[in-house]
């Protein structure tokens, strides 16, 4: 949410609002849904019927909130409004980066042709006057949205930080892919390790598409006990837990974007159902034979080992080919060390603003230590560390290296374990055989590596997953696919 109290104090906004007040005797204000911010000079109008009457004032406030809700549902055009007292007005949606935030209201007049509420106290405007007011209102809204970029970046830098293009060429390529795919409705696959900003990239795809005014829905496939029911919905009796009809996330995202995070956790059955939906636009709720149509842009997020999962048989190949045509690759933080300092400054500024503290900066020693760390948690870990540093330095303007977490000060103690000497024996398990496909031989190599890793970890799957640099869930899927369950 932008700081509209600050924006409303801008000289251009004040003067234009005062011009409207003087020339048309109309009120100008911004309704955020929680409060009303009046623009221009003192907005005490000759035609203000609510002044000094508490009941009327409450009804007036309700009118503004009702208009806010109306435009929140369809925030595309200015709309003509009528308050509880019968006075006319115009409401303008304020949409910043695809997000509806507030409305600009110009109100308190009657139309020239209206006979009710006769009396000179009420200003009457012609159709031409209303058109002029509409143009002036659009100018105020355009100014606010145009000057919101810097404030939006400052207030939400922790969410948009992965987009910094002034340092890393790799991140510039990621951003170029997002911009290229945003204008289509094709499925997009966002690949990257945890904490690199995959969901934020999905939000950027949505905000820059024609669907930006429509729903943006995220479903984390790791948390779903019944993914098919959650995504497609179910009818009563369609499953033991289905007591009533319930739509799924697919219908909740109608005409908008549905993000399936950690899509590698979806079962092959659900993958094939999603493939049918993406090909036909039709689906059925669990337990029903009725075919329903839905227009949804699908976005999937996965870890770095998505291709390996296909080779291991943990993902339907046709499904992966469908979603893998347009891929956005997120860059891990250890591959963009030049971005650590500006990103850290951005996170610090955001936290200082949240806590109401003066701006802080990192010492040279602190920046150097940050660049020596591997950042396995990527942007999320960096943001959490900067939040911690701001809290631990309430009065210092410069943050020293002594406040850094111990894992960052001693990065060598957190390097992942390496394969023991038996790794030399792994390569001997795979033999080049004429007539065998490369994918089959790669799968054999992967199977041998997992078997060796399990042996070196005494069968501990959690340690094995850390050793191989993959999630425990993906490791278990591969173990089952390779028939290594007894390992």
Residue 360 is encoded by which pair of tokens? 């802080």
Residue predicted with more confidence, 140 or 414: 140
Residue 409 in this model has a pLDDT that exceeds 80:
yes
- Mean residue pLDDT across the chain: 80
Q: Do 328 and 163 form a contact (C-beta atoms < 8 A)?
A: no
Residue 280 in this model has a pLDDT that exceeds 80:
yes
Topology (CATH) of 4-152 = Beta-Lactamase (3.30.450)
The mean pLDDT value for 217-225 works out to: 82
Least confident piece of the model among 75-89, 188-202, 337-351, 406-420? 406-420
Q: Domain 333-414, what architecture?
A: Orthogonal Bundle (1.10)
Residue predicted with more confidence, 483 or 153: 483
Alpha helices by DSSP H, 74-126: none
Same fold, 4-152 and 167-329: no
Q: How confident is residue 57, by pLDDT bands cut at 50, 70 and 90?
A: low
| H or E element at residue 27 | strand 27-31
Query: Can you tell me the distance from the alpha carbon of 200 to that of 227, in angstroms, rounded to the nearest whole number?
Result: 22
Residue predicted with more confidence, 123 or 249: 249
Residue 34 in this model has a pLDDT that exceeds 80:
no
- Residue 195 CB partners (closer than 8 Å, separation 6+): 333, 377, 378, 379, 380, 381
Burial, 244: exposed, middle or buried (Cβ in 10 Å; 0-12, 13-18, 19+)? exposed
Residue 285 pLDDT: 93
The mean pLDDT value for 321-326 works out to: 92
The mean pLDDT value for 346-361 works out to: 82
CB atoms under 10 Å from CB of 257, counted, come to 24
Straight-line distance from the first to the last Cα atom of the chain, in angstroms, rounded to the nearest whole number: 53
Residue 412 pLDDT: 52
Q: How confident is residue 172, by pLDDT bands cut at 50, 70 and 90?
A: confident
Residue extents of the structural domains in the chain: 4-152, 167-329, 333-414, 423-482
Residue 56 pLDDT: 60
Residue 162 in this model has a pLDDT that exceeds 50:
no
Strand partners, 29: 38, 105
Residue 243 in this model has a pLDDT that exceeds 50:
yes
Residue 202 pLDDT: 92
* φ, ψ for residue 466, nearest 5 deg: -65, -40
Residue 2 pLDDT: 66
Residue 158 pLDDT: 40
Q: Domain 423-482, what architecture?
A: Orthogonal Bundle (1.10)
Residue 109 in this model has a pLDDT that exceeds 60:
yes
The mean pLDDT value for 234-238 works out to: 90
Q: How confident is residue 286, by pLDDT bands cut at 50, 70 and 90?
A: very high
167-329, superfamily in CATH?
P-loop containing nucleotide triphosphate hydrolases (3.40.50.300)
The closest of 30, 31, 32, 36 to 14, measured between CA atoms, is 30
Strand partners, 109: 88
Residue 381 pLDDT: 93
Residue 143 pLDDT: 80
Residue 165 pLDDT: 39
Residue 252 in this model has a pLDDT that exceeds 80:
yes
């Amino acid at each position: 949410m932008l700081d509209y109290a600050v924006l409303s104090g801008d000289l251009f906004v004040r003067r234009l609002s005062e011009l409207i007040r003087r020339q048309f005797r109309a009120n100008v204000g911004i309704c955020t849904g929680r409060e009303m911010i009046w623009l221009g000079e003192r907005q005490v109008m000759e035609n203000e019927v609510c002044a000094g009457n508490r009941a009327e004032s409450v009804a007036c406030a309700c009118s503004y909130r009702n208009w806010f809700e109306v435009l929140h549902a369809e925030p595309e055009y200015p709309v003509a409004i009528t308050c509880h007292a019968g006075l006319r007005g115009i409401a303008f949606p304020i949409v910043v980066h695809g997000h509806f935030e507030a409305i600009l209201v110009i109100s308190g007049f009657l139309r020239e042709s209206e006979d009710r509420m006769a009396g000179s106290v009420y200003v009457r405007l012609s159709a031409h006057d209303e058109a002029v007011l509409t143009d002036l209102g659009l100018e105020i809204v355009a100014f606010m949205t145009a000057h919101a970029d810097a404030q939006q970046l400052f207030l939400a830098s922790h969410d948009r930080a992965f987009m910094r293009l002034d340092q890393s060429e790799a991140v510039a390529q990621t951003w170029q892919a997002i911009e290229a795919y945003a204008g289509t409705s094709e499925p997009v696959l966002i690949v990257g390790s945890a904490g690199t900003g995959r969901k934020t990239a999905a939000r950027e795809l949505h905000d820059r598409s024609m669907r930006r005014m429509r729903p943006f829905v995220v479903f984390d496939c790791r948390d779903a006990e019944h993914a098919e029911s959650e995504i497609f919905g179910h009818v009563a009796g369609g499953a033991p837990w289905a007591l009533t009809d319930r739509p799924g996330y697919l219908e909740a995202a109608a005409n908008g974007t549905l993000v399936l995070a950690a899509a590698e956790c979806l079962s092959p059955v659900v993958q094939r159902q999603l493939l049918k939906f993406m090909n036909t636009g039709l689906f059925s709720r669990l337990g029903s034979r009725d075919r329903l149509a839905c227009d949804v842009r699908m976005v999937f997020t996965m870890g770095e080992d998505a291709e390996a999962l296909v080779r291991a048989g943990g993902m339907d190949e046709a499904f992966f080919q469908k979603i893998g045509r347009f891929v956005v690759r997120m860059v891990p933080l250890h591959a963009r060390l030049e971005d650590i300092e500006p990103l850290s400054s951005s996170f610090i500024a955001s936290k200082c603003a949240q806590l109401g503290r003066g701006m802080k900066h990192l010492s040279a020693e602190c920046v150097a230590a940050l660049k020596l760390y591997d950042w396995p948690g990527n942007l999320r870990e960096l943001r959490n560390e900067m939040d911690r540093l701001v809290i631990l330095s309430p009065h210092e303007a410069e943050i020293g290296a002594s406040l850094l977490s111990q894992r960052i000060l001693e990065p060598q103690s957190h390097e992942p374990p390496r394969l023991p000497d038996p790794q030399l024996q792994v390569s001997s398990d795979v033999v080049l055989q004429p007539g065998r496909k490369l994918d089959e031989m790669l799968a054999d190599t992967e199977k041998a590596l997992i078997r060796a890793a399990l042996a070196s970890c005494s069968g501990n799957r959690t340690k094995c997953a850390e050793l191989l640099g993959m999630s425990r869930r993906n490791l278990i899927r591969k173990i089952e696919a390779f028939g290594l369950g007894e390992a």
